[in-house]
C-alpha cells in the first residue's frame, strides 16, 4: 500500500485526498489509488462523491469483483447511490464487464435516470451482445422523453449492423442530422461503420466524403469497409488519399494518430485481391516505417500476401525477421508453402514448429495433408494423418479426409480411395466424390467407379452439368448410346446451368 504522506511529500502535490486519488487514477495507478482511499478512511476523513467516483473507475480498471462490491456497499451506506447519478452510472459500467444481471439490477433501481446513465447501459448491452435489449432500452428512452446524445447514438448504431437493420440505421442517421450532432466525429465514425457492415458502401462513402472532421478512425473504417465489401481498388484509393492528407497536415495530431495494424491488414488484403504486388511492397515499407514489423497479425498478413503472389522467399524473409513468431505466423508460413506446392518445405517448417514446442491444430494439418497430396508425398501424408488423433488428440474432420482421398486419387488408387471413403465416420461431400472422379478420369479401367461416383455427385449437385457430361461421355465410349442420349436430354429439358 502506498504511504500517502511520503508519496505526496516526494511529489509536491496539493494535499487534497480527492485530487491525490484522481491523479493516481488518471496515471493508471489504480492499486495505489485504492490504497490511498483506504488510508483516507483510516484517517477518519469522509470521502465526497468525486473521491468515490475516482475509486469506482480504479476498481473498474482492475476488474476486481470484491472491490466492486465493496465500493458499491460503501456507496449505499453513505447514501451516494441515491443522491449521485454519476456513481450509479460508473458502477453499471464496472458490473457490465462480468455481471450483466447486477448491472441491470442496479440500473432498474436507479431513481433519477439521465441520458448519461441510459447511454452507459445501452453501451453495456451492446458490448455483451445483448442487441435486442439495447434496442428496447433505446426505444424506452425516447418514450420517456430522454433525448439521446451522440454517445447514445454511437452505442446503438452497432446494433443496426448486428441485427442487420439498415433502415433503423438510416433513421438514426437522419435523427442525428436533425439534432445537429454532426460535430461529433465519434458519431459519424459509428455511422460509417454501420453502413459498411450493412453492405451499403455507397452510403458510407457519401458520409465519408462530407465529413469535415475526419480522424484516423474514420479512414480505418472506410478502408476496412471497402475490403470487406469487395472493393479493394477503392480501399487503396482511400489509402492514397490518407497519405496525401497526412502529408498535407503534418501536425502533432496526425503524427500521433498514424494508421494502425488493422488498417494495414485491410490494405494487404486489398493488394492481394488486386494482384497488386508493387502496392503491397509499398504498404510493407509503411508498416516498417510505422514500427509494426514485429506485430504478429501484420507478419502473418505479409506472409500470406507474398506467398499468394508466389513469392515464398520474401514470405520466408518476413517470417525470419520476426523473432517472436507465434502459432499464427507458423500457420501462415506453412499454408504459404502449401498453396505453392512446396511439399518438402511444408514438412520442414511443420517439423520446426513442433521442435519449438508449438502444438498444431486441425487447420495446420489441412495445410500439411494438402501439400502431401499435391506433391505425391503419400508416406508422409499417411504418417501425419494417423498421428493427428493418436499423438495430438485431434479428431480428423471432413477436410482432412478430403485431403487423403485426393492423395489416393492422384496416385491412381481410386478403388482404394473408394474403400477409404466407405469407411469414413461421416458422410462424404462433393469435394471428396469430386477428387475420386478426377482420379477416375486420369486412370484407365475405372469405369465402374466413375459411374458410381458420377451418380453420387449428380444426386448431391443435380444442377451441375459437368457430372452429366462426364457420365454421358463414358456411356458413349462404351457404346451405350441410349443411356448417353438420355443424359443429354435431361440436360436440355431441365435447362441446367453449366458451372
What count of other Cβ atoms lies within 10 Å of the Cβ of residue 262? 14
From 263-267, 364-368, 380-384, 493-497, the region with the lowest mean pLDDT: 493-497
Of the chain, the percentage scoring pLDDT greater than 70 comes to 91
Identify the three-state secondary structure at position 126.
helix
| pLDDT of res. 469 | 78
Q: What is the per-residue pLDDT across 363-396, written as a single tens digit (0 to 9) for each?
A: 999 999 999 999 989 999 999 999 999 999 999 9
Whether 357 shows a pLDDT value over 50: the answer reads: yes
Cα 314 to chain centroid distance, Å, stands at: 26
Q: Is the pTM higher than 0.85?
A: no
Whether 94 shows a pLDDT value over 90: the answer reads: no
Query: The dihedral of CA 294, 296, 301, 304: what is its sign?
Result: positive
Q: What is the per-residue pLDDT across 180-231, written as a single tens digit (0 to 9) for each?
A: 887 888 999 999 999 999 999 999 999 999 888 888 888 889 988 988 888 8
For residue 78, which phi and psi values (nearest 5 degrees)? -90, 0
| pLDDT of res. 346 | 94
| pLDDT of res. 429 | 87
From 192-196, 242-246, 404-408, the region with the lowest mean pLDDT: 242-246
What is the spatial distance between Cα 123 and Cα 128, in angstroms, rounded to a whole number?
9
| pLDDT of res. 11 | 47
| pLDDT of res. 14 | 34
Q: What is the per-residue pLDDT across 142-156, written as a single tens digit (0 to 9) for each?
A: 898 889 999 999 999
Whether 497 shows a pLDDT value over 70: the answer reads: no
**What is the per-residue burial (b if ≥16 Cβ within 10 Å, else e) of 337-361?**
bbbbebbebbbebbeebeeeebebe
Amino acid at each position: 500500500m502506498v504511504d500517502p504522506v511520503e508519496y505526496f511529500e516526494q511529489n509536491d502535490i496539493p494535499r487534497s485526498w480527492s485530487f491525490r486519488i484522481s491523479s493516481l487514477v488518471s496515471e493508471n495507478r489504480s492499486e495505489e489509488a485504492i490504497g490511498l482511499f483506504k488510508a483516507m478512511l483510516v484517517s477518519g476523513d469522509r470521502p465526497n462523491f468525486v473521491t468515490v467516483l475516482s475509486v469506482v473507475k480504479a476498481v473498474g480498471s482492475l476488474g476486481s469483483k470484491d472491490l466492486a462490491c465493496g465500493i458499491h456497499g460503501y456507496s449505499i451506506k453513505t447514501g451516494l447511490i441515491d443522491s449521485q447519478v454519476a456513481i450509479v452510472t460508473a458502477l453499471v459500467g464496472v458490473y457490465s464487464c462480468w455481471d450483466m444481471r447486477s448491472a441491470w439490477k442496479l440500473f432498474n433501481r436507479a431513481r433519477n435516470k439521465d441520458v448519461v446513465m441510459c447511454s452507459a447501459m445501452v453501451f453495456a448491452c451492446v458490448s455483451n451482445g445483448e442487441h435486442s435489449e439495447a434496442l428496447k432500452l433505446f426505444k424506452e428512452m425516447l418514450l420517456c422523453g430522454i433525448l439521446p446524445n451522440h454517445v447514445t447514438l454511437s452505442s446503438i448504431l452497432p446494433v443496426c449492423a448486428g441485427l442487420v437493420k439498415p433502415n433503423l440505421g438510416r433513421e438514426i442517421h437522419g435523427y442525428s442530422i436533425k439534432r445537429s450532432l454532426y460535430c461529433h466525429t465519434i458519431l459519424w465514425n459509428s455511422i460509417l461503420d454501420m453502413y459498411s457492415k450493412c453492405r451499403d458502401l455507397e452510403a458510407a462513402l457519401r458520409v465519408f466524403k462530407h465529413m469535415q472532421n475526419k480522424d484516423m478512425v474514420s479512414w480505418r473504417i472506410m478502408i476496412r469497409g471497402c475490403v470487406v465489401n469487395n472493393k479493394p481498388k477503392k480501399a487503396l484509393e482511400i489509402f492514397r488519399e490518407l497519405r496525401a492528407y497526412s502529408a498535407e497536415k503534418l501536425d502533432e495530431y496526425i503524427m500521433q494518430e498514424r494508421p494502425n495494424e488493422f488498417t494495414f491488414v485491410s490494405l494487404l488484403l486489398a493488394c492481394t485481391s488486386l494482384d497488386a504486388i508493387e502496392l503491397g511492397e509499398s504498404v510493407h515499407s509503411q508498416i516498417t516505417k510505422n514500427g509494426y514489423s514485429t506485430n504478429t497479425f501484420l507478419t502473418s498478413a505479409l506472409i500470406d500476401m507474398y506467398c499468394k503472389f508466389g513469392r515464398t522467399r520474401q514470405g520466408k524473409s518476413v517470417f525470419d525477421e520476426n523473432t517472436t513468431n507465434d502459432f499464427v505466423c507458423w500457420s501462415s508460413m506453412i499454408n504459404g508453402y502449401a498453396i505453392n506446392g512446396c511439399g518438402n518445405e511444408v514438412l520442414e517448417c511443420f517439423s520446426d514448429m513442433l521442435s519449438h514446442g508449438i502444438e498444431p491444430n486441425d487447420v495446420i494439418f489441412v495445410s500439411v495433408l494438402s501439400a502431401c497430396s499435391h506433391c505425391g508425398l503419400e508416406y508422409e501424408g499417411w504418417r501425419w494423418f494417423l498421428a493427428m488423433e493418436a499423438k495430438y488428440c485431434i479428431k480428423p474432420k471432413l477436410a482432412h479426409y478430403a485431403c487423403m482421398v485426393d492423395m489416393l486419387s492422384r496416385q491412381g488408387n481410386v478403388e482404394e480411395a473408394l474403400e477409404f471413403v466407405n469407411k469414413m465416420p461421416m458422410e462424404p461431400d462433393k469435394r471428396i466424390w469430386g477428387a475420386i472422379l478426377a482420379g477416375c478420369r486420369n486412370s484407365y479401367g475405372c469405369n465402374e467407379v466413375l459411374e458410381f461416383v458420377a451418380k453420387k455427385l449428380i444426386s448431391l449437385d443435380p444442377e451441375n452439368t459437368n457430372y452429366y457430361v462426364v457420365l454421358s461421355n463414358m456411356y458413349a465410349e462404351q457404346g451405350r448410346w441410349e443411356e448417353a442420349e438420355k443424359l443429354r436430354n435431361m440436360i436440355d429439358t431441365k435447362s441446367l446451368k453449366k458451372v
